[in-house]
Amino acid sequence: MRPRPESPPFGQADLTNCERELIHLSGSIQPHGVLLVLSEPRLVIVQASANVDSALGTPLDALLGHPVDVLGSECAAAIRDLLSTPSLGTPLPTQVLLRLGGRDRTATLLLHRPPEGGVIIEFEDLHEGRARRSSPALPSRLAGMVTRLSAAHSIPALADLVVEELQDLLGYDRVMVYRFDEAGHGEIIAEAKRAEMESYLHRHYPATDIPQRARELYLRNKVRLLVDVGYTPVPILPRLSPVTGDELDLSLAGLRSISPLHTEYLQNMGVAATLVASLVHEGRLWGLIACHHREVRYVAYDLRAACELVAEVVSTRISALEHFAEAQAEVLVRRLEHRLIEESAADGDWRRALFDAPRQLLAPVNATGAALLFEGEVHTTGDVPSTPDLRALFRWLDTQGADPVFATSSIARAHPPWRH
């Protein structure tokens, strides 16, 4: 049995706590839904969120230890149908009718099997009587968005388009695309916001803002909703799973509680609600679409599913654009090599061959300037620092080990004297 993880107290949001926090084992959920855990094969309810009485009108002891049929025959049948699906690695949604305490409620049900065993069931969009219907215009609206996003000619154009589209669809005050570099540091590369709000565009954030454990969860759970940053977590009872004797793994649960360190961070920013969608390229977290709102905001599952589809389309387009850029860079490098060979053969001066055609030199790496130190002389082209600063930089580069290539997305982070 794993020891019970303790969340660090508020006000202690240091980097050690961020990396130590076991956010997938929070033992609690957000209060806008209900969570149940079933044991198999008898489908007995063995755990439940403490809000079942207020949300479903049924006391906790009327559910724990009882078979799933206590939720009503239609709901139980829907659960059994979902459990017959071959793969339940990710939550599957369906609309169900709950019959508890002599009252009918409709809900969106999400069901999945965590790796350790058992079945996790989540209920959202709880309504008495008839179910809330999705907008009939949503499918055609999504189709138009997919067409426009798939035609974006560059990553900046794609990012600008998706923030505008999602702000219009979801209604958040601010929507951003947050891109990670190879070291995990982030930059906001696109933003749509209300006119009166301060812009975050092109702000940079250290990799430590999003701990590695959180990044791993973003790869597994592609859309995360925080309805109210000031919510009180609802505990899951009993705390330890009777199925495993261990903490319940909530990695894929949409209702999973948010890290108190993260909610404190958001409160300090004046954010009341968020929705975050993952952008994935070649199996790694390329970036995030982050939606912020200044008031409490719930987004129904159908719109979250639409957001996940949009994020997948954007991820696919990012991969296509990245691959095209890599192929184009290879062609440009071959052209530069060919020119160097020709020019050097003609007069033996390879430096002139490099710097007489700056566009061919800069284009393969999308640079705005270049500098060369050779035999004590500094050669430059484009937008570069002063010669004394360049000489200081070259001296520092000489101390960076034997590797013939040094690369960084931020020289200021790699070499602090260049921060100013």
Model confidence pLDDT, tens digit, residues 361-414: 888 888 888 888 888 888 888 888 888 888 888 888 888 877 778 887 778 777
Which is nearest to 371 in space by CA: 324, 401, 411, 399? 411
Sequence-ordered list of residues with C-beta below 8 angstroms from that of 61, at least 6 positions apart, any chain = none
Instruction: Give the distance, in angstroms, between the CA of residue 258 and the centroid of all CA atoms in the same chain.
Output: 14
Which amino acid makes up residue 159? Answer: A
Strand partners, 99: 104
Query: Beta-carbon neighbour count of residue 262 at 10 Å?
Result: 20
Strand partners, 279: 287
For the segment 162-177, the average pLDDT, to the nearest whole number, is 97
For 208, what's the count of Cα atoms within 13 Å in the CB-facing half-sphere? 7
Sequence-ordered list of residues with C-beta below 8 angstroms from that of 324, at least 6 positions apart, any chain = none
User: Which of the listed ranges 119-133, 267-281, 343-357, 404-418 does the model predict with the highest average pLDDT?
Assistant: 267-281
Give the chain's domains with CATH numbers: 15-128 (3.30.450.20), 138-232+257-321 (3.30.450.40), 349-419 (3.30.450.270)
Backbone phi, psi, residue 331, to 5°:
-60, -45
Gap between the Cα atoms of 380 and 66, Å rounded: 77
pLDDT attached to residue 420: 59
Query: Beta-carbon neighbour count of residue 56 at 10 Å?
Result: 24
Stated pTM of the model: 0.81
Model confidence pLDDT, tens digit, residues 18-57: 455 677 788 899 999 999 999 999 999 999 999 999 999 8
Confidence of residue 17 (pLDDT cuts 50, 70, 90): very low
Q: Report the phi/psi class of residue 89: left, alpha or beta, with left for phi > 0 and alpha for psi in -120 to 50.
A: alpha
Gap between the Cα atoms of 300 and 310, Å rounded: 16
Gap between the Cα atoms of 227 and 125, Å rounded: 13
Model confidence pLDDT, tens digit, residues 226-283: 999 999 999 999 999 998 899 999 999 999 999 888 899 899 999 999 999 999 999 9
Sequence-ordered list of residues with C-beta below 8 angstroms from that of 127, at least 6 positions apart, any chain = 105, 106, 107
For the segment 278-301, the average pLDDT, to the nearest whole number, is 96
Helices 301-347, 138-150: crossing angle, 10 deg rounding = 10
